[in-house]
A = this chain, B = another copy of it.
Amino acid sequence: MAERSSRRQTPTEQELAIHAVPFGAGVMAHRSKRLLTAAQRRRLMALATTVRLGPGTTVFREGDPLSDIFVVGEGLVKAFREFASGRRRIVGFLFPRDVFGLAEHGRYVNTAHTVTQSLIYRIPHESLAAALQRDADLQFRFLCKVTEKLREAQRQAILLGRPDAIGRVAMFLKMLEPDSASTRDPLIALPMRRTDIAEYLGLSLEAVSRATRTLALRKIVAFVGRHSARVRDRAGFESIVAAA
């Protein structure tokens, strides 16, 4: 399930155990606030070029030769794969501080699109590899980050294993919910479109729509506008998330 190595550092440092889902979503709040020291950050930024992209822009395509590793500075990016049938499968939402650009055999395995306007840092992969080789501590941070992604990926797998649409949507909202500790405002931001949610949850657009409607009718979650939600019935919500 997860490979790892681990080492506790500052409080709430996560283990190395592998578990990486290239999904920055919901986890946004869970991730450690500062993974890098000021010096490390400075050195990394020296290797990076900064790009500002409008919404719906392609960062790279599946099959493109690997060139850079990317880090989200601001905005939201989605990583997905397309099939012959035209169906799409989003394998992860990338939030600020998330690293992306997963490759295999020298080629990116997914396509990455911006969802909202975004600020992206790109680092040539050779430069990054060299930097990681020189700085074991920096590499450890990366290892933690990938492990975090693995955990997220497992979470998505668990979510997809559920047979009920309402449960999937509830789990998705739970993933995007800010840490109860950090934020007092229980507002959940949903920057992506319903279609994106459907492609992430493995459901049809209509099923997502019906599930949200049901949650709203039962007064478990209130959707304000199309891009935010709020849990109204905490107990009911958690029981749906926990079930199966």
Spell out A's residues near B (CB within 8 Å).
Answer: 1-8, 12, 14-23, 66, 69, 71, 79-81, 83-85, 87, 89, 91-92, 94, 98-106, 108-110, 112, 123, 125-126, 128-137, 139-140, 142-143, 145-147, 149-151, 153-154, 156-158, 160-163, 202, 242-244
With A3-B149, A157-B153: A17-B104 Cβ-Cβ less than 8 Å:
yes
CA distance A188 to B126 in the complex (A): 37
* Cβ B161 vs Cβ A3 within 8 A: no
Contact of A92 among B1, B110, B133 (CB under 8 A): B1
Contact of A69 among B17, B71, B108 (CB under 8 A): B17
Contacts of A3 in B (CB 8 A): 20, 22, 69, 71, 98-102, 142, 145-146, 149
Copies assembled: 2
How near does chain B come to A104, taking the closest CB pair, in angstroms?
5
- The A contact surface, by secondary structure, is mixed
CA distance A143 to B143 in the complex (A): 6
Contact of A132 among B79, B110, B143, B150 (CB under 8 A): B143
* Cβ B157 vs Cβ A102 within 8 A: no
With A3-B149, A143-B142, A153-B154: A17-B137 Cβ-Cβ less than 8 Å:
no
How near does chain B come to A236, taking the closest CB pair, in angstroms?
15
Max chain B C-beta neighbours (<10 A), residue from A17, A18, A145: A18
How near does chain B come to A64, taking the closest CB pair, in angstroms?
12
Contacts of A123 in B (CB 8 A): 5
